[in-house]
A and B are shown apart, each in its own frame.
Chain A
């Protein structure tokens, strides 16, 4: 079955710096890769996603890149702000009613 590895487990940056979180997946049939942000005491919330027919997607300060050959995808946050501090999860799925498999999470701390 699918296995998703996520690194780093913790990431500390200064406000205004960029942050990059990386994930690798094992199932070459996976074709959907969402990223979720979990704030303290809340459930995860989708922030951006990418499908396998696209190499990069941007939404303001957030971007995701996908390398299907290497089975690798990354989340990039530019101009980080303290409110970006949270736990971020990557995930992968074959779609339909197939499982959504999550990575182990990255705790991002943005210091003012």
Chain B
């Protein structure tokens, strides 16, 4: 089954404790991206990747890192999480860029205390 898989689905942690949210897709997609969803603000892009080893900032990259060492994986790293990063996070992938349908994972709800 074609899918984007995120882990964990839920996480409660404390300020400053490094965490990684994994994202994996099995569709051989070139383009992958991370969004955060906050009430009243919709979906805002954090980072995106056009291909292996090629990443770029989205609208809200502060406090986040990403890497794309393999085509299928695109982890989101919070080196020193803070309470303002409490949010619902989505990973998405597409065959090539933003003119293609974006396939979203089911989300990761992060709470930073």
Contact = CB atoms under 8 A, between A and B. Distances in A.
Interface string A1-38: 10000100100000000000000000000001010100
B42 A99 contact: no
Interface residues of B, number: 25
Nearest to B51: A97
Interface of A: 1, 6, 9, 32, 34, 36, 41-46, 49, 89, 93, 95-105
Interface stretch (B66-74, B78-86, B98-106): B98-106
A49 to B, nearest CB: 7
A6 B43 CA distance: 12
A15 B22 CA distance: 40
Contacts of A95: 97-99
Given A32-B98, A43-B4, A97-B98, 12 more contacts: A6-B42, A43-B92, A43-B106, A43-B107, A44-B43, A44-B90, A93-B99, A97-B31, A98-B98, A99-B59, A100-B98, A100-B102
A104 B98 contact: no
A47 to B, nearest CB: 10
B45 A100 contact: yes
B99 A102 contact: no
Contacts of A44: 43, 90, 102, 104
Interface of B: 4, 31, 33, 35, 40-45, 48, 50, 58-59, 90, 92, 97-99, 101-102, 104-107
A97 B43 contact: no
Contacts of B50: 97
A34 B41 contact: no
A105 B58 contact: no
A97 B102 contact: no
Contacts of B107: 41-43
B98 to A, nearest CB: 4
